[in-house]
Structure 1
Amino acid sequence: MDGKGRWVDNVFVERRWRSLKYEDVYLRAYETPTELRAGLRRYFTFYNTQRRHSALGRRTPEAVYFDQASHELVA
């Protein structure tokens, strides 16, 4: 995973942190660690259950996960 030429390994994580910062942290300017923690919890809940992702066919990560899990239970 590390080494020269392996930038692609980290691109998805970096993209998620960029989304988090631009969609939540920079807009809200949390003043305390407690506020930040609550805000991050709220954002990640939104990100996984309500925010639609173009890479997932405009579906939420939760919908994709539970759809795959139900197919595995049937098989």
Structure 2
Amino acid sequence: MDVEISIGAGSAEIKLPDGSAYRISCTTGVGNCELPNGSGFWGQNYTSPEYASADEKIEIQVSIGAGEAEILK
């Protein structure tokens, strides 16, 4: 499944299903993306540990002008 999220200014909460395998690409002007473990990242990719072996995968692309996206599980 592919998910694209674009935020000019503001914030978004992205809730993932339990046990999901995902890869997140986040680009920001001013802001960040926060992972379920509380760590933040920006301008890079994050891949969940189970992604490589999963049958069902979620690809998430987040683009933020000013604000933040919080990834929740």
State the TM bucket, normalised to the shorter chain: under 0.3
Q: Which has the higher helix share?
A: 1
TM-score normalised according to structure 2 size: 0.21
- Which has the higher Rg, Structure 1 or Structure 2? 1
TM-score of the aligned structures, taking structure 1 as reference length: 0.20
User: By percentage of residues, which structure has more strand?
Assistant: 2
With a CA cutoff of 8 Å and minimum separation of 6, indicate the structure with the bigger relative contact order: 2
